A and B are shown apart, each in its own frame.
Chain A
Amino acid sequence: MGPCHGRVALITGSSRGLGRVIARKLSDAGADVVLNYRKAGGRSEAQAQALAKELVERGSRAVAIQADISQKDAVATMCQEIAARYGRLDILVLNAARAPFKAVSELLRRDLLELVENNYLGNVYCMQQALPLMQGRPGHVVFVSSLGSRFALPSYPLGSMKAAMEALVKQWAVELGDRQITVNGVTAGLLKTDSLIVLRQYWPGVERLPATAFVDLEDVASVVLFLCTDAARAIRGQSIVVDNGLTNQLLYPTSTG
């Protein structure tokens, strides 16, 4: 029996990329997972529904729910559906992100609003709406952050939102400490996921970095899982860097030779 057996977990933005791997990981650990995707009718919906189907066939009570987390009402509706279906929530992984890729100096007002609505407000909406479902039991919240919270990356204004996220981790950890709900962050390094499709467009040479500069999705998901287990209950308000050691050195070889 896995460490998350009997728990219900919501992973935002879990149709693909890291969110998908985390959802699988939590499901493998015994959790009933709620997958979430932003847009109806696109590929992410098909991918989320396919994963939910696969998990159900393996005996899990998985479901995929469409909700744009930047919309407060949509988050409320998603949480109502979770309440109706499961009557509870034990684990919340805030993974969804959406951002323009531009230099900060080029950001239009609309871009700024998009950044804040999707990556700051959206996560707060999710927390506010999910907390009533986490009432009366120990729970775990994990924010998925990135190295952009601490380092400047090219055309990555999302980093500033990740920094805000890591500040929120502390805030929530204190606010929820009495309720035995742990709140932590995982600060992921360079991932070979859809985000690399974006990164390679804005960061010339990123593909020539040696394989060791990247971190496996599985390795990030493993830390998320750990933070969602009772074994990690004394870790509160921490954002743990999981980057395969990338940021331990100032200079990095850019070629495998």
Chain B
Amino acid sequence: MTEPLISSDQIYREVQKSIADALQISEQKVEPDSSLIRDLAAESLDFIDINFRLEQRFSIGMPRKYFLEHVEELFGEGTAIDQSGHLTEAAVTIWNARLGSSGPQVHAGMALDDVPALVTPRTLVMIVEEILATCPHACPACGKAAWAVADGGPITCGGCGAPAQLLTGDDVIRRWLEDFRARGGPVSRAS
């Protein structure tokens, strides 16, 4: 797909609403770069709540695990987080490869506990966009390439009405990491 079915702005509005509803604050308080934890006082349970709301809205599966948790699972424990709970050089390399220089920045030695505070509405928009982008060109059920957006949310087939089969957020991350490894990404297991 060239043009996304749901624009970043639309996704942002839903992210903003989900956060405001979960935290019981006004939408005006939620800004694109607000730290959910530092600026909006969200806690770990709130993240699950916000994700659930986005899942319902778009019929998607948000990631159940943090990016660095996936790194540890796929590349081995100790790759990204050292024994004392701090980020390794490899974690920073992988992080930067995925999020680039414009995203939230991490550094080696940073406490893992400080990473969730980097999550902003912009991060969530990116995650939703990535999941929606896994929509196949044509509907596997009827073969038509006629996706439609139902009520600003779920993507359904304009031909047969079937919901779009999208990867989950965890799948998206795993695939990216596998691809990263296949490209020869510098992943050396920490001692």
Contacts and interface: CB of A to CB of B under 8 A. Distances in A.
Interface in A200-243: 200-202
A85 interface: no
Interface string A102-118: 10001011100000000
Interface string B147-186: 0000000000000000000000000000000000000000
A194 B42 CA distance: 13
Interface stretch (B48-56, B96-104, B121-129, B132-140): B48-56
Most buried by B among A194, A197, A200, A202: A197
Interface string B37-54: 100011101101101100
Nearest to B61: A201
Nearest to A45: B41
Contact of A43 (B41, B48, B51, B112): B41
B41 A102 contact: no
A110 B82 CA distance: 10
Interface stretch (B8-16, B69-77, B87-95): B69-77
A39 interface: yes
Most buried by A among B45, B52, B73: B45
Nearest to B42: A43
A197 B48 contact: yes
A109 B77 contact: yes
Nearest to A200: B52
A108 B43 contact: no
A42 B51 CA distance: 19
Nearest to A113: B85
A198 interface: yes
A44 interface: yes
Given A44-B43, A110-B85, A101 B64 contact: yes
A43 B64 contact: no
Contacts of A200: 52
A194 B45 contact: yes
Given A42-B41, A42-B42, A101-B64, A201 B51 contact: yes
A105 B45 CA distance: 22
A152 interface: no
A41 interface: yes
Contacts of A41: 41
Contacts of B81: 110
Interface string A26-50: 0000000000000101111010000
Given A42-B37, A43-B23, A200-B52, A108 B42 contact: no
Contacts of A109: 77
B46 A201 contact: no
Most buried by A among B51, B64, B85: B64
Contacts of B48: 197-198, 201
A197 B41 contact: no
Contacts of B43: 39, 42-44
Contacts of B41: 41-43, 46
Nearest to B24: A43
A115 to B, nearest CB: 14
Contacts of A46: 41
A43 B46 contact: yes
A201 B42 contact: no
Nearest to A101: B64
Given A42-B37, A200-B52, A108 B73 contact: yes
Given A108-B72, A201-B51, 7 more contacts: A42-B42, A42-B43, A101-B64, A110-B77, A198-B48, A201-B48, A201-B52
Interface of A: 39, 41-44, 46, 101-102, 106, 108-110, 194, 197-198, 200-202
What 7 pairs across the A-B complex have the smallest Cβ distances? Answer: A197-B49, A42-B43, A43-B41, A194-B45, A42-B41, A108-B77, A197-B48
12 contacts: A41-B41, A42-B42, A43-B43, A43-B46, A102-B64, A109-B77, A110-B81, A110-B112, A194-B49, A197-B52, A198-B48, A202-B64
